Amino acid sequence: MITGLPEPPYVSVIFASLRPLHEGSILEDGYGAAAARMAELVVQQPGFLGVDSARNTEGFGITVSYWADEGSALAWRRNLEHAEVMRMGRERFYEAYTLRVATVHRASEFERP
Amino acid sequence: MITGLPEPPYVSVIFASLRPLHEGSILEDGYGAAAARMAELVVQQPGFLGVDSARNTEGFGITVSYWADEGSALAWRRNLEHAEVMRMGRERFYEAYTLRVATVHRASEFERP
């Protein structure tokens, strides 16, 4: 799915992460269930505009979530269930990650006619 | 690879795209060679800070490139060889894409001890 284009400005949270590989496969560690639950919860957050996510077969993934403003992005960060999953992320889901908060100024889209 | 963290503010270009699938596989259409050439060229651009990219097995991918400022991001957009590849992208590499330009304000990282 490609998230559509709200009118800028709005906030993007860019999360790049590396999942541990175990003998060439991504480890089953409860991540799938946690990710599904977060997908269910996040859409209920005020100010949530959408999310795009892709992970390759080497375990490297990028998730970009979009928010009406910094306050709504921050409120999601403070959601208790999400905070617990973030803790599990540092404990076992991710080898490493980067997190960036950025304000979208311009946006465009293309769709094959 | 996860791109490291320069000191904010800097510019991110968030490109989400859908590659056409052909009987469940991503079509061989010259995309791999074009992407490799772009990866070679982009690192030579003034103001280029890094790039993160992931595409899943369904053909959905996110590429985020990082730039010192809007001018350097714009100069890459105007690079002639890149412009030709962007044209090929609309013609055949992508079913659809979105492109967002955003200013990074805050960034953090985690690495498993």
pTM: 0.94
The answer to whether residues B88 and B71 touch, using CB atoms and an 8 Å cutoff, is no
Residue A59's pLDDT is what?
Answer: 93
Q: Is residue A44 part of a domain?
A: yes
The 10s digit of each residue's pLDDT in B3-44 is 888 999 999 999 999 998 876 666 678 999 999 999 999 999
The answer to whether residues B107 and A15 touch, using CB atoms and an 8 Å cutoff, is no
Q: Provide the shortest C-alpha distance from residue B105 to chain A (in Å).
A: 6
Q: Is residue B24 part of a domain?
A: yes
Q: Is residue B109 part of a domain?
A: no
Find, among A32, A30, A94, A99, the residue nearest to A63 by Cα. Answer: A99
Number of structural domains found in chain B: 1
Q: Is residue B5 part of a domain?
A: no
Q: Which residues of chain A are within 8 Å of residue B104 when distances are taken between CB atoms?
A: 14, 100-102
**Cα–Cα dist B66/B15, whole Å:** 11
The 10s digit of each residue's pLDDT in B72-83 is 999 999 999 999
Domain that holds residue A15: 10-104
From the list A2, A97, A103, which residue is nearest B98 (CB)? Answer: A2
Q: Where are the beta strands (DSSP E) in B1-112?
A: 10-18, 21-22, 25-26, 48-55, 60-67, 96-111
**Best of B1, B2, B3, B108 to mutate (most A CBs within 10 Å, chain A):** B2
Q: Is residue B110 part of a domain?
A: no
Q: Is residue B52 part of a domain?
A: yes
User: Residue A58 maps to which CATH number?
Assistant: 3.30.70.100
Q: Provide the shortest C-alpha distance from residue B107 to chain A (in Å).
A: 4
Locus of tokens 């403070």:
A78
String of DSSP letters for B61-76:
EEEEEEESSHHHHHHH
Report which DSSP code applies to A96.
Answer: E
CB contact under 8 A, A106 and B101: yes
Q: Is residue B4 part of a domain?
A: no
Q: Is residue A5 part of a domain?
A: no
pLDDT tens for chain A, 113 residues long, are 578 889 999 999 999 999 988 766 666 789 999 999 999 999 999 999 999 999 999 999 999 999 999 999 999 999 999 999 999 999 999 999 999 999 999 999 999 98
Whether B1 has a pLDDT exceeding 60, the answer reads no
Residue B13's pLDDT is what?
Answer: 98
